[in-house]
Amino acid sequence: PTTIYLKDYQPFGFDVENVELTFDLHPTKTRVKSRISFVPKPGAPAQIFLDGENLTLISARIDGTSVQPVISAEGLTCAVPDAPFLWEAEVEIDPENNTALEGLYMSNGMYCTQCEAQGFRKITYYPDRPDVMSVFSVEINGPHPVLLSNGNVISTSRAHAKWHDPWPKPAYLFALVAGDLVAHSDSFVTASGRNVDLNLYVRPGDEGKCAFGMRALKASMKWDEEVYGREYDLDLFNIVAVDDFNMGAMENKGLNVFNSSAVLASPETSTDENFLRIEAIIAHEYFHNWTGNRITCRDWFQLCLKEGLTVYRDSQFTSDMRSAPVKRITDVIDLRARQFPEDQGPLAHPVRPESFQEINNFYTATVYEKGAEVIGMLRCLVGAEAYGKALDLYFERHDGQACTIEDWLKVFEDTTGRDLSQFKRWYSQAGTPRLTVRDAWYNGTYILSFTQNLAASETTPDPQPQVIPIVTGLLSPSGEEVVPSQVLEMTQATQSFTFEGLKERPVPSVLRGFSAPVVLESELAADHTAFLLAHDTDPFNRWEAGRSLARASLLKMITEGAAPDPAYLDGIHAVMGDATLDPAYRALMLNLPGQSDLVKSLCDMGETPDPQAIWEVCRAMSHVQAERLQDILPALFDAHQVTEPYEPNADQSGRRSLANAALRLVSLIDGPDRARAQFTSADNMTQQLSALGVLLRINEGADELAAFEQQWKHDRLVMDKWFGMQVIHADPDKTAATAARLTEHPDFNWKNPNRFRAVMGSLAAHHAGFHYADGQSYDLMADWLIRLDPVNPQTTARMCAAFQTWRRYDDRRQQKIAAALDRILATPGLSRDTTEMLTRIRG
């Protein structure tokens, strides 16, 4: 396989002025005609190379004359004139047998496309690269009532439609949908008074699951106008729900295509978490219209230019729509669970990678979530006002262009006069910096000293200090904020910050709001943590204090057989009993650190982690939590019941999350009765599913599981939950067997990515079950990756990340994992996607 390097970037030799496509749809023999106007740039080569994969070329003409291009597995090469010319080609493709779900494919009888990153080359011959932008006109012929493409509709009738998208775009934003679909319609009036028709297209039967997504879309449109001054730019905005989809959703211009799990929702079938995720993804894809579509990426190394920024924007949106502290805490939990292991293992890569073999393998938590953290840091450093001005300049200067991270940073430099060359290391250095903090107090002077350290890695052999914004406040010993939050801007490897004029030695609250994606190692007095849990005015750090106490206590329980820390339990008790605190926030306080987080801490301490022991200690800690909180749990449960009609808003979902957290703990002591009653009486999925989870966790849910299946077997999205729950809540010694049994279920349609992930993704997420000593989970995972790879390389490659932390475990486990990895790698014809992932992981 070839490696592609950022440093080798070359502009394309031709401009594309105009693209006309005609599709004659047929399940196995779709014909695609293209008419493309190319204009050679000065110095253009005498031959053109067009990307193309899995295409059968029927005919090709230049300016009306037949040509015979040289065809390879990657595309075609053809001699061209040194003046503007018209390229006309006809190809045949086979959507029905396109199980990779890239290019034009079929899902439950409907046609749809996924072109990001390089799927358009499976539709026709084209310069399939994001810096080639053009205006597209599309004609679709096919016996379907709904025929959609990008932009505005020119004409439409049954079996025939014409579309025109006036905005120049790269091919990865092309989309086509055809099928027997129904629309949930609405409209939006933009700030300047233009009317936009909005449609959410779904399969018949799903009409009742559209209202929430539509509401979220309208809220997103309004928010982007108010906060970023960005208006929508077409008369029409369509969203289509598709059952078979590799990712969450796709921001094609004017025609977003969504995994149905990321858009369809109803109270009966979706949990509060599902609603929250749907709202965020709708916003994310909509926000791409400006950050991604109007301003796109020059090449795929710049993916974070659109993704980091758009994730950052959707997190701002969710913070505004709901609770900002709760959003921040859940984002950091997610970052630590998904991005930190990537950054600290064999898959580590910079936010802007410098090489790849398969770009699909770089749609990662590092590019997306760390990419968003980098933007959060930038905003923190320059301030909200300068951030706003820089973004205005970005939109003004780069509208219609394909840009780089250099362009992005330049608007900040031009707006603020700052030199961001050191800050730019966040984009080029891989790995999570460790930040150590120490303090000292001499005669009224308080000093905070920090050291930053970044481990060398393959892509970052010689790490240099980064700019770290450390938001810090100081509290008096009685809990008053004596120095309010300020940004300490760290630029050196070691740096101290001095505070004068304090009457007494303060308690520091550092890295408030998790102002930088680092691992903080505190050498401060241990009792500070309990104090911050009780008193910190920064909600994030207050939560973090509870988390740190829990982690320290769990580690001592594991390594020394210590008893749970009473200071932690007392602190949690005080927080849970504090009715002035947001219920959602209190519910988060009960969460324990992730088990693979603990594995990492143990490795750093020089210990060999035992997954089973970690699982048992976490169980024991939950029991102790339940005992310590026994006096308040039943009241918490009762007081936070929602009696009004179900709404997926922050207030109601917060109350439900606290009630369900209380239910989970109280059931460990009181048994299954409350959960059974809730399961039976629930009129919404949040209540039903959490009751089922509680029951499964105490090995009580067999009847409910059967009842749930009976009730929901017709609903594929709910059945994904049914599959996943059983794996997630299995005891570690039964996890592999449970997953294996579920793969025999008649509804285990493994070619559907959602269903595959429901079982295999849950297996990977069950830490102690995946790493159970007999190695059965490793073998089962390997079997299924081998089976899926020829069908769907992208989903297979993504699932390989289950093995990325394998070097953290003991020799026996490593041997078993190595054997599993080698077995997959030895499979003849293994895809480029999976080969690259496993080669990197195997090392």
Q: How far is the CB of 311 from ligand DPP (least distance, A)?
A: 8
Partner in contact with 21, chosen from ligand DPP, Zn ion, none, beta carbon below 5 to 8 Å by kind: none
Neighbours of 95 (CB within 10 A): 22
Least separation in angstroms between CB 282 and ligand DPP: 11
The interface partner of residue 330, options being Zn ion, ligand DPP, none and the CB cut-off 5 to 8 Å by kind, is none
Could you tell me which of 173, 36, 48 has the C-alpha nearest to residue 115? 173
Closest CA to 157 of 182, 131, 139, 136: 139
Q: Which stretch binds ligand DPP (CB under 6 A): 45-53, 243-251, 414-422, 620-628?
A: 243-251
Residue nearest to ligand DPP (CB): 247
Query: Strand order of the sheet with strand 176-179?
Result: 103-107, 110-114, 176-179, 146-149
CB of 180 to Zn ion, least distance (A): 29
Closer residue to ligand DPP in complex, CB, 184/313: 313
Q: Among the candidate windows 247-255, 330-338, 652-660, 798-806, which touches ligand DPP by CB under 6 A?
A: 247-255
53 binds, among ligand DPP, Zn ion, none (CB under 5 to 8 A by kind): none
| Total residues found in the chain within this entry | 843
Binding mask 274-313 for Zn ion (x = CB under 5 A): ---------------------------------x--x---
Element (H, E) at 80: none
Structural contact between residues 780 and 763, judged by C-beta atoms closer than 8 angstroms = yes
Rounded Cα gap, residues 793 and 814, in angstroms: 25
Q: Does 247 contact ligand DPP by CB under 6 A?
A: yes
The least CB distance from residue 383 to ligand DPP, in Å, is: 28
Residue 355's SS3 state is strand
Q: Which of Zn ion, ligand DPP, none binds 116 (CB below 5-8 Å, type-dependent)?
A: ligand DPP
Strand ranges of the sheet holding 30-40, from the earlier edge strand across to the other edge? 65-66, 56-62, 85-93, 30-40, 14-24, 134-141, 160-169, 152-157
Name the residue nearer to ligand DPP (CB basis): 248 or 672: 248
Site for ligand DPP in 476-495 (CB under 6 A): none
The span from the CA of 825 to the CA of 796, in Å, is 13
User: Which residues, 56 to 115, sit near ligand DPP by CB under 6 A?
Assistant: none
Nearest Cα neighbor of 512 from 551, 543, 547, 478 is 543
Q: Tell me which stretch binds ligand DPP (CB under 6 A): 249-257, 346-354, 681-689, 714-722.
A: 249-257
Q: Which is nearer to ligand DPP, 102 or 285 (CB)?
A: 285
| Residues 30, 36: Cα–Cα separation, whole Å | 19
The span from the CA of 51 to the CA of 118, in Å, is 9
Report which residue type is found at 116: E
Query: Is the Cβ of residue 288 or residue 676 nearer to ligand DPP in the bound state?
Result: 288
How many residues touch Zn ion under the rule CB under 5 A: the total is: 2
Phi-psi domain of 68 (left: phi exceeds 0; alpha: psi -120 through 50; beta: other): beta
How far is 600 from 785, CA to CA, in rounded Å? 26
Binding to Zn ion, residues 310-369 (CB under 5 A): 310
Residue appearing with tokens 């439900």: 656
CA separation for the pair 512, 241 (Å, rounded): 39
Task: Rounding to the nearest 10 degrees, give the CA dihedral for residues 597, 600, 601, 602.
Answer: 120
Helix, strand, coil proportions of the chain in percent (round to 5)? 45, 20, 35
Tell me how far, at minimum, the Cβ of 104 lies from ligand DPP, in Å: 16
Of the two residues 288 and 336, which places its CB atom closer to ligand DPP in the complex? 288
């301490």: which residue's tokens?
A: 605
458 belongs to the catalytic site: no
| Nearest-approach distance from CB 116 to ligand DPP, in angstroms | 5
Applying CB under 6 A, the span of 248-256, 547-555, 765-773, 803-811 interacting with ligand DPP comes to 248-256
In sequence order, which residues have a C-beta less than 8 Å from that of residue 793 and are 6 or more positions away?
100, 360, 831, 832, 833, 834
**Smaller CB separation from ligand DPP, 196 or 282:** 282
88 vs 251, beta carbon nearer ligand DPP: 251
Q: Which residues pair with 160 in a beta bridge?
A: 141, 157
Q: Name which of 289 and 310 has its Cβ closer to Zn ion.
A: 310
* Catalytic, out of 53, 116, 285, 369: 285
Distances (CA, A) of 648 to 26, 199, 215, 321: 41, 22, 12, 12
Nearest approach in angstroms of CB 71 to ligand DPP is 29
Stretch that binds ligand DPP, among 242-250, 439-447, 683-691, 786-794 (CB under 6 A): 242-250
Which of 51, 116, 342, 544 lies at the binding interface for ligand DPP (CB under 6 A)?
Answer: 116
| CB distance 636 to 604 below 8 Å | no
- CB under 8 Å to 61, separation ≥6 — which residues? 67, 87, 88, 89
State the binding string over 279-318 for ligand DPP (x if CB under 6 A, else -). Answer: -----xx--x------------------x-----------
* Nearer to Zn ion among residue 310 and residue 509 (C-beta): 310
Query: Active-site residues: which are they?
Result: 285
Footprint on this chain of Zn ion (rule: CB under 5 A): 307, 310
Footprint on this chain of ligand DPP (rule: CB under 6 A): 116, 247, 249-251, 284-285, 288, 307
